[in-house]
Chain A
Amino acid sequence: MVNMAKAVYIHIPFCEQICHYCDFNKFLIEGQPVDDYLNAMENETKRLIKEHPFENITSIYIGGGTPTALNEKQLERMLHIVQQSFQPDLSKVEYTVEANPAVTDRGKLGILKKAGVNRLSIGVQAFQDDLLKALNRTHRSADVIKMIETAQQYGLEDLSIDLMFGLPGQTLEMFQDSVQKALHLNVPHISAYSLQIEKQTVFFNRQRSGKLPLPGEDLEADMFEYLIKSMKLNGYTQYEVSNFGREGYESKHNLVYWNNDEYYGIGAGAHGYLSQNRYQNVKPLPHYIRKIKNGELPLREQTHLTKDERMEEEVFLGLRKMEGVSKETFYRKFSIELEDVFSEQIRKLVQRELIISTSESIRLTERGTFLGNEVFQEFIGLD
């Protein structure tokens, strides 16, 4: 069975300020060769499509960095590249742009709308200005409210808010307040991510020198518990560990990852999955631009997945979805029964009450949702 890419991820690695927790590929926008970058990206896109043609794109996602840190002209050019390359059927395709409340003004929202963008993912993170400042975010909570109002005026209704928990100095009350404020904004989709300390971030260095007051596992678990409960109460379905949506508003793009489908990754430092290869592009802008000028693909590394690895990923990614891994889909993809590959793992995890196995699927229990890694790791290392 030939897999074709179903989604597009485009990485815009520019920011006006760097957040203390962020380890994505990003650069301060000032003085960067943004136009050269967009040209290179256009080129890369053409090459990728030529080498890995698509049939039916269901989602386009422009992330960063901060895509909305581009100026209006650059933003228009970028959206034009997308339009020309993929010619999406905007009645069917989910077309998301990450929007930073500090820089996404009326003008830029107008441009997004006009280009057919139909979904915004808004990096809110928290509603306490002190906390936002401590994360080195550029926006304040008032910016969020204003931006959402403007977006809705433009008819952009499919909005998603990102929240974070487990932040240094964040109390349970602060997180509860953020969740309530997010609910109050009445957007159809909310994601909540827990902070991971990654290398080459300000937080990593602070932690190493013992100066990062993290809430700890118990408090983080309390936050997660509160989140799940509140979302349920307010009519949001938890369809994935970190993602909650009103009916019909689950993010198609997210599901591409968890369904183990293939996607283009475009831009410096972007990750993609095409023709059974997982790859990452080079990160520094000059390298990225030069490689494309030299007629090469700007790859930093790529790994061809074996069948075993694909089966493992089908399960450990799929289990992140609350509906779990479909046994039928598994068989259709790999011509072998899920149970024949992972019988021992499934038996043990069912016994530990971390997963439920039915005739249709395996999925996490409530406890398993909190201890997902304990489950996922059982499914790697087939030999």
Chain B
Amino acid sequence: MDKKDRLDRQSRIRNFSIIAHIDHGKSTLADRILEKTSALTHREMKEQMLDAMDLERERGITIKLNAVQLTYQAKDGQEYIFHLIDTPGHVDFTYEVSRSLAACEGALLIVDAAQGIEAQTLANVYLALENDLEILPVINKIDLPSAEPERVRKEVEDVIGLDASEAVLASAKSGIGIEEILEQIVEKVPPPQGDPEAPLKALIFDSLYDPYRGVVAYIRVTEGTVKVGQNIKMMATGKEFEVNELGVFTPKPVMKDELTVGDVGFLTASIKNVGDTRVGDTVTSAKGGATEPLPGYRRMNPMVYCGLYPVDSAKYNDLREALERLELNDSSLQYEPETSQALGFGFRCGFLGLLHMEIIQERIEREFAIDLITTAPSVIYHVYLTKGDHLVVDNPSNMPDPQLIDYVEEPYVKASIMTPNDYVGAVMEICQKKRGNFITMEYLDDIRVNVIYEIPLSEIVYDFFDQLKSSTKGYASLDYELIGYRQSKLVKMDILLNAEKIDALSVIVHRDFAHDRGKAVVEKLKELIPRHQFEIPIQAAIGTKFVARSNIKALRKNVLAKCYGGDISRKRKLLEKQKEGKKRMKTVGNVEVPQEAFMSVLRMDSDD
């Protein structure tokens, strides 16, 4: 292909992604677009094709980004090449979103015609605006009885400041407005700019590990051309590789000899480690490559840590292998071995956020069949010692003795909570309970309020989001960003079972909340730990001082004394079930503790 052909083709490329709140219909719209651009026959199309992993489909969220190449026969008679780049829709994955947006020139902004704009959508719109994307508003679900497209159109204009006069009124579910969306993409999204003969610059916006081909990097070419057999260099890591394969997804992978300006596809180069193809890094040629990388590369640091331990300690090596396998696919997952007196050998793992943590945990249990104990999630504390030096603590049990500590700092976030004004009181109550400092409140329109708080991250990481949802009937939405470290009156609270300190149950709490928290934890454990042959005292202590205590009474009766009419198989099944239940518990000292107990230390029930 000569330069003229390349430029001509380039002028017919449109790269876009879809920004939407969960449930606002992103996946359905993506499906409709795939249908209209005949990327798939109907029979081939599984529901929500873009979400590849089972877990994603079950949870209805996208974890891994995907990009598909589509061809669209526009009304002007030309054939256009579309690249639809999918983005994850959760606050844990903001950086990934920003990189996939960086691979586009435009974005469809999907807003639910009944619910309007949500905090997460807003955050992603700002990311898109930062990346200079052309934003095409789409008001979806207009066929719902509760739809108010005109109100939502006004909201888009008032809240985001976008011209929404040409916003498409659509229903992805019923196939309304799809043509118009496609035509607007052709018309309004600018074609990629760049010189196909310049030194290569390609953005890595995702990667995954394939056991046969090594790392598959998802790239967007911004300058130059990359060819099979070419030697390439990763600009952030400096690592060099030879390109084995290039291709695009349609969504089936289709091999190509080269990818050039505007192309969005994949690259393999016998890369063994996902860490070598970091999201946000720039690929260039090994010789005569670009001097400046594309902007915006950032190494992702975990925000939340927890301990992962196999229930069956014989599975420690299996767990290590599982983490190694998952890490190949997920460079933001960090882990290192740790030992707990109570739980034995395990790993301290770092995650981008709670959802990320839950997903990893579920994948280990499901894909690798390892029963896990997860300790309560912790953030990173900066501990300043009286001696003058300072420590970074990501595991509460490593918190030094109080007399050695000068002061402790914890990470704070700025939380934006968007809620209907009826629930402002409820939202503020939760924020207050979670040690939040009120900053401001903005009325977006007559009904919707954006409440801004500064809250310790440690309070957000547990059940903040669940509580927010349940006390606002699901209406509130949350976005947050880290704003730095602040000094707090924090102490370590230890839990003793049968007079034995259980390191895996230690938790960092604010001193003023310690008593209430201690009481709540002790009661929760009493509920979760089954009766044993002996009485078990449960105590919560700060240093040597006890702040709460309860007792699990001794088991008194556990015997089948039912009239079974000769049904021995049933009896056996019942005993097997009881025995199985025990196997899923961890023996700590001489107490059998169920898995969920280790997470319970952070759970705050409504009445505490």
Which residue numbers of A lie inside 8 Å of B, CB to CB?
9, 11, 24, 63, 162, 191-196, 217-218, 220-221, 224, 241-242, 257, 263, 265, 270-273, 278, 280, 303, 312-313, 316-317, 352, 369-374, 376-378, 380-381
**Contacting pair A374 B561 (CB below 8 A):** no
In the complex the two chains form, what is the Cα distance from A162 to B558 in whole Å?
20
| Shortest beta-carbon contacts, A-B, top 6 | A372-B559, A221-B556, A221-B557, A377-B579, A194-B561, A196-B562
**Contacting pair A257 B566 (CB below 8 A):** yes
Return the CB mask of B570-608 against A: 1 if under 8 Å, else 0: 011011101100100000000000000000000000000
**Contacting pair B560 A372 (CB below 8 A):** yes
Neighbouring A residues of B159 by C-beta, 8 Å: none
In the complex the two chains form, what is the Cα distance from A355 to B386 in whole Å?
57
Which residue numbers of B lie inside 8 Å of A, CB to CB?
531, 533, 553, 555-563, 565-569, 571-572, 574-576, 578-579, 582
Neighbouring B residues of A352 by C-beta, 8 Å: 533
- With CB as the reference atom, state the residue of chain A lying closest to B559: A372
Q: Chain A interface secondary structure, helix, strand, loop or mixed? A: mixed
**Contacting pair B559 A193 (CB below 8 A):** no
- With CB as the reference atom, state the residue of chain A lying closest to B574: A373
A272-B566, A273-B568 are known; give 7 further A-B pairs, CB within 8 A: A217-B556, A316-B572, A317-B568, A369-B559, A370-B557, A371-B559, A377-B576
**Contacting pair B576 A194 (CB below 8 A):** no
- Among B555, B565, B567, B579, point to the contact of A371 (Cβ < 8 A): B555
**Contacting pair B559 A241 (CB below 8 A):** yes
Residue of B553, B560, B565, B579 ringed by the most chain A CB atoms within 10 A: B565
- With CB as the reference atom, state the residue of chain A lying closest to B583: A381
- Among B533, B562, B563, B575, point to the contact of A316 (Cβ < 8 A): B575
Query: 11 interchain pairs (CB within 8 A)?
Result: A9-B565, A162-B563, A217-B556, A218-B553, A241-B560, A263-B566, A271-B568, A271-B569, A317-B571, A377-B575, A380-B576
- With CB as the reference atom, state the residue of chain A lying closest to B531: A217
In the complex the two chains form, what is the Cα distance from A141 to B563 in whole Å?
21
A219 to chain B, nearest CB (A): 10
Neighbouring A residues of B556 by C-beta, 8 Å: 217-218, 221, 370
- Among B557, B561, B574, B582, point to the contact of A242 (Cβ < 8 A): B561
- With CB as the reference atom, state the residue of chain A lying closest to B532: A374
A224 to chain B, nearest CB (A): 6
Neighbouring B residues of A280 by C-beta, 8 Å: 567, 569
Neighbouring B residues of A317 by C-beta, 8 Å: 568, 571
Neighbouring B residues of A63 by C-beta, 8 Å: 565
B521 to chain A, nearest CB (A): 23
In the complex the two chains form, what is the Cα distance from A280 to B531 in whole Å?
34
Neighbouring A residues of B558 by C-beta, 8 Å: 370-374
Residue of B557, B561, B562 ringed by the most chain A CB atoms within 10 A: B561
Neighbouring B residues of A380 by C-beta, 8 Å: 572, 575-576, 579
- Among B557, B563, B566, point to the contact of A9 (Cβ < 8 A): B566
In the complex the two chains form, what is the Cα distance from A191 to B553 in whole Å?
29
**Contacting pair B562 A313 (CB below 8 A):** no
- With CB as the reference atom, state the residue of chain B lying closest to A64: B565
**Contacting pair A371 B575 (CB below 8 A):** no
In the complex the two chains form, what is the Cα distance from A225 to B555 in whole Å?
14
**Contacting pair A192 B561 (CB below 8 A):** yes
